[in-house]
């Protein structure tokens, strides 16, 4: 079934939005407690995403602590040392960048030698993207388009971190949560899914929805699904079972009960009203 479109939108791509940024190397490092590395002076930009543990990065007299879900960037021509934590040694996935747009990209993201640590807006999403990229690189028979997809998912996480810096965190989390619901309402989503995707506590997400939408997260999901179901009955010739599945419910009795509590009539009754109204419109236009 074709997904219903509320509106038609057009977007023109600007080549400046897609600078020359490519990956030249990907690796995974697992450290022993208190293990040290360096001094090293890279000749390219290297992004290291910490997937477990913690450690410390040193550049001159500056020392930066980095923990799970964060990342740090090594800049070409700078000399670094780093050390894994004595109790929770870090593991990280490293990606080396090449391309004429790399320097500008990191500058636009506000990542500098003085501030090389990245706080991802969605740590779990960033770590998953880095892991997927490494696993794709590790395959004997690589899918080059798959590599590109994984790499650009990671770049997306970097850009989202920039968005968070430019707007209040509450607004960002609400925008992302609502977008996620609208894109996945037909799937088996939960409040826990959304909180994990955003990298925030479920209780904090619930407070945001109470503040900005005057309803719980779960009620917002339910209301959006029922809104979509009504649209489908009004504009498409689908039966109750088809609409039930299309809006993310697996139990038609549960769907019917919730629909009636929100709309005041059962899905079957609402469908009959819509069909009758559509027939009257058709007769008026003949």
Q: Are 63 and 57 in contact (CB under 8 A)?
A: yes
Report how far residue 74's alpha carbon sits from residue 112's, in angstroms, rounded to the nearest whole number.
Answer: 9
Note the pLDDT of residue 9: 57
C-alpha–C-alpha distance, residues 174 and 163, integer Å: 13
Q: What is the pLDDT of residue 4?
A: 45
Q: How many CB atoms lie within 10 A of CB 98?
A: 14
**Domain covering 15-166, topology:** Jelly Rolls (2.60.120)
- Predicted pLDDT of residue 286: 44
pTM recorded for the entire structure: 0.58
Q: Which residues have C-beta within 8 Å of that of residue 252, sequence separation ≥ 6?
A: 240, 241, 244
Tens of pLDDT, residue by residue over 241-263, are 999 999 999 999 999 999 999 99
Right CATH number for 168-286 from 1.20.1260.60, 3.40.50.300, 1.10.10.60, 3.30.360.10?
1.10.10.60
Which residue positions in the chain have pLDDT lower than 50?
A: 1-5, 283, 286
The pLDDT value given to residue 261: 94
- At 52, phi and psi to the nearest 5? -165, 150
The per-residue pLDDT for 170 is 65
Q: Tokens representing 88?
A: 């929770």
Q: Domain ranges in the chain?
A: 15-166, 168-286
pLDDT (tens digit, 9 = 90+) per residue, 161-215? 765 555 565 677 888 889 889 888 999 898 988 888 777 788 888 998 998 899 9
Provide the pairing of β-strand 80-84 with 91-98.
Answer: unpaired
């Amino acid at each position: 079934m074709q997904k219903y479109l509320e509106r038609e939108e057009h977007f023109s791509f600007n080549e400046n939005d897609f600078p020359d940024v490519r990956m030249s190397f990907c690796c995974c490092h697992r450290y022993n407690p208190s293990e040290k590395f360096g001094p090293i002076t890279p000749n390219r930009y290297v992004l290291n995403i910490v997937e477990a543990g913690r450690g410390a990065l040193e550049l001159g007299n500056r020392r930066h602590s980095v923990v799970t879900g964060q990342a740090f960037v090594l800049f070409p021509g700078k000399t670094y040392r780093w050390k894994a934590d004595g109790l929770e040694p870090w593991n990280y996935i490293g990606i080396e960048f090449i391309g004429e747009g790399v320097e500008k990209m990191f500058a636009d993201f506000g990542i500098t030698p003085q501030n090389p640590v990245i706080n991802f807006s969605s740590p779990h999403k960033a770590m998953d993207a880095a892991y997927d990229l490494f696993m794709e690189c590790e395959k004997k028979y690589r899918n080059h388009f798959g590599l590109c997809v994984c790499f650009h998912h990671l770049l997306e996480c970097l850009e989202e971190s920039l968005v968070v810096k430019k707007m209040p965190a509450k607004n960002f989390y609400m925008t992302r949560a609502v977008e996620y619901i609208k894109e996945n309402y037909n799937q088996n989503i939960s409040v826990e899914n959304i909180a994990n995707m955003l990298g925030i506590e479920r209780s904090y997400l619930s407070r945001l929805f109470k503040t900005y939408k005057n309803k719980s997260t779960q009620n917002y999901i339910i209301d959006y699904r029922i809104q979509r179901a009504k649209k489908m009955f009004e504009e498409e010739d689908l039966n109750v079972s088809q609409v039930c599945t299309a809006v993310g419910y697996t139990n038609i009795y549960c769907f019917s009960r919730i629909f009636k509590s929100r709309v005041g009539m059962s899905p079957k009754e609402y469908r009959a009203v819509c069909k009758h109204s559509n027939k009257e419109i058709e007769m008026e236009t003949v």
